[in-house]
Structure 1
Amino acid sequence: MDTYNLLKTAMDVSQTRSELISNNIANVNTPNYKAKRVVFESQLSQAMDNLNLTETHKNHMQTGGTSGPYITSRNTGFQKNGNNVDVDTEMVNQAQNGLYYSAITSQLNGRYKMMNYVINH
C-alpha cells in the first residue's frame, strides 16, 4: 500500500471517529446509550493486510488480526439513566481528532506538492 492510500485510510478513520463522537454527544440524554469509540489500530491493520511484511529480526513488530471499526464502551453509566457519555470527554476527543485530521491533511498536501514539483520540473 502506498503512502497516499495509507493517508486516505487515516482520514477515513478520523472522519468515522468524528461521526461517532458527534453521535455520542447527540445521545448524551438517551437512556442506556453507551458511548462508541473508533479503534484506529484495527483500521490500520486492515489497511495493511495487503502488505507483504518480512520479519528479519526477532524484535520487529508482528502483524496480526483485526477487530471491528469501533467498539462500544462497557463502562458503567455516569448518569442515573444508564448513559455513560461524558460531554467534556467527548469534546476533548473531538478537538484531538480535529488536530489529528489537520495533521494528516498537511501530510497529504505535502505529498501532492512534492508530486506536483516533480512533474513540473
Structure 2
Amino acid sequence: MNKKAKKNNHLFRRDPMGTYDLLKQAMNVSATRSQLISSNIANVNTANYKTKSVDFENQLNKAIGSNGFSLATTNKRHLQASDLVTPTIKTNSDTSVKENGNNVDLDVEMMNQATNGLYYSALVSQLNGRYQMMNYVLNH
C-alpha cells in the first residue's frame, strides 16, 4: 500500500449508514417540528395556549462540544452520535403575547414553518445526492 493510500485509508472505515441515520433523524425532527408549528398556528386563538417547539440542534451542539464529536466508529458496540442526541419537545411558557394568556405569534410561526420547510428540502437534497452517488458507484 502506498503512502497516499495509507493516508486516505480512514475514508473507508467510516460507517456510511451512520450518515443516513443522521439524515433520517434530522428529517424526523423536521417533520415533528412542522407538526408542532402547525399546531401552534391552529391554536392561535386558544386561551392560555403556549407554543411548543423541538429542541434538537442545541442538544446536538452540546454533544459536539462536549465529546469532540467523531463520526469514525472504532468499535461496533459504541453508541452512534445519533443515539446520543434525542429531540425533546419544549413548551414556551415564559411569555404571553395576548391578554388571554396565549403566546402564539402568527408571524413568528409562519417564519418558522418556512425555515423548517427549507431545512427539510435541504435534507432531502442531501439524501437524494447520496443515493445518486451510491447508485452511480453500483452501476459503473
TM norm. shorter chain > 0.5: yes
Question: Corresponding residue for 2:88?
Answer: 69
The one of 80, 93, 99 aligned to 2:112: 93
Is residue 33 of structure 2 the alignment partner of residue 29 of structure 1?
no
Shift in Å, 1:75: 2.5
The 2-side partners of 1:115 and 1:42 are apart by 31
Shift in Å, 1:5: 0.6
Question: Corresponding residue for 2:13?
Answer: none
Larger radius of gyration: 2
Quick check: 1:9–1:44 contact (8 Å CA) kept in 2?
A: no
The unaligned stretches of length 5 or more in structure 1 are 49-59
Identity score, percent? 63
Quick check: 1:10–1:44 contact (8 Å CA) kept in 2?
A: no
Structure 1 residues 66-106: Cα deviation after superposition (integer angstroms, max 9, x where no partner): 67611000222111110000000000000000000000000
TM-score, normalised relative to structure 2: 0.69
Q: How many residues align?
A: 107
CA RMSD, aligned part only? Answer: 2.3
Secondary structure of the equivalent of 1:61? helix
Structure 1 residues 1-25: Cα deviation after superposition (integer angstroms, max 9, x where no partner): 6111100000000000000000000
TM-score, normalised relative to structure 1: 0.80
The unaligned stretches of length 5 or more in structure 2 are 1-16, 68-83
Question: Corresponding residue for 2:34?
Answer: 18
Q: Structure 1 residues 42 and 21, CA, compared in 2 at 3 Å: closer, same or farther?
A: same
